[in-house]
Every structure is written in structure tokens, then in C-alpha cells.
């Protein structure tokens, strides 16, 4: 069973601060996805990374896939209240297999 551990579980910061969320596993994933979920809604896909060492940027969000494809990180620069939500990483072990989700990082950005 592939497991994905996210850290930290909770994060409360002030607007304008930077933060990094980590997603780690002992297993190799063929791809890794990041989602954001807001209360009362389903998760929304932010990005998919597939190549070891890959870095993708989405405005103030930077996603990195580890060289060995076992871990990933999400860095947010100058966080804003609109970034508040539950951030989930999800790994696909083999193409065509099910997604394994991490436990999530609940982020609150205070104005």
C-alpha cells in the first residue's frame, strides 16, 4: 500500500508570508497531483507533475516533484486570504491505477 504523508497538517499564517507544504512517500509515483479544497466543495486540481525534478509555477504557487519521484512540495509566495483551504497531494503509482491521497494540509491565511 502506497502512503503519502503531508506536513504540516495545519498552518495558520499572516497575509504576505511565504509557506511550504510537503508531501512524502517511500514509494515511487508515476505522477503526482495537487488539489485545493474549500469548505462545501470538492477538490480542484491545481497541477500535475510527472517528471522527476520537475518544477511548475502557477502564479504565486510553485510545485516541485522530487528527483526520485517519491516526494513533492508546494511553495506559496506572499500568501493571501484567498489561498485559505485544504491542500491535498495525490499520487498515481502506475498509469491507470488508483490515486492515493495524502492527509491534507489545512491552511489559513489571516488578513
Site residues (vs another protein, CB under 8 A)? 33, 35, 40-45, 48, 88, 90, 92, 95-104
CB of 8 to another protein, least distance (A): 15
**Exposure on the CB side of residue 53, measured as CA atoms within 13 A:** 1
Give whichever of 11 and 79 is closer to another protein, judged by the CB atom: 11
3-state secondary structure of 58: strand
Region class of 40: left (phi > 0), else alpha (psi between -120 and 50), else beta: left
25: preceding bond cis by omega (within 30 degrees):
no
CB of 5 to another protein, least distance (A): 11
CB of 31 to another protein, least distance (A): 9
Do 40 and 54 meet the contact criterion of CB atoms below 8 Å apart? no
Give whichever of 26 and 77 is closer to another protein, judged by the CB atom: 26
Give whichever of 36 and 79 is closer to another protein, judged by the CB atom: 36
Amino acid at each position: 500500500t502506497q502512503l503519502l504523508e503531508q506536513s504540516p497538517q495545519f498552518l495558520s499564517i499572516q497575509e504576505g508570508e511565504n509557506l511550504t507544504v510537503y508531501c512524502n512517500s517511500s514509494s515511487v509515483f508515476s505522477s503526482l497531483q495537487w488539489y485545493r479544497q474549500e469548505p462545501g466543495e470538492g477538490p480542484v486540481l491545481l497541477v500535475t507533475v510527472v517528471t522527476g525534478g520537475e518544477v511548475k509555477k502557477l502564479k504565486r504557487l510553485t510545485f516541485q516533484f522530487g528527483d526520485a519521484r517519491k516526494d513533492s512540495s508546494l511553495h506559496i509566495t506572499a500568501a493571501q486570504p484567498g489561498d485559505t483551504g485544504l491542500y491535498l497531494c495525490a499520487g498515481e503509482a502506475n498509469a491507470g491505477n488508483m490515486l492515493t491521497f495524502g492527509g491534507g494540509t489545512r491552511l489559513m491565511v489571516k488578513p
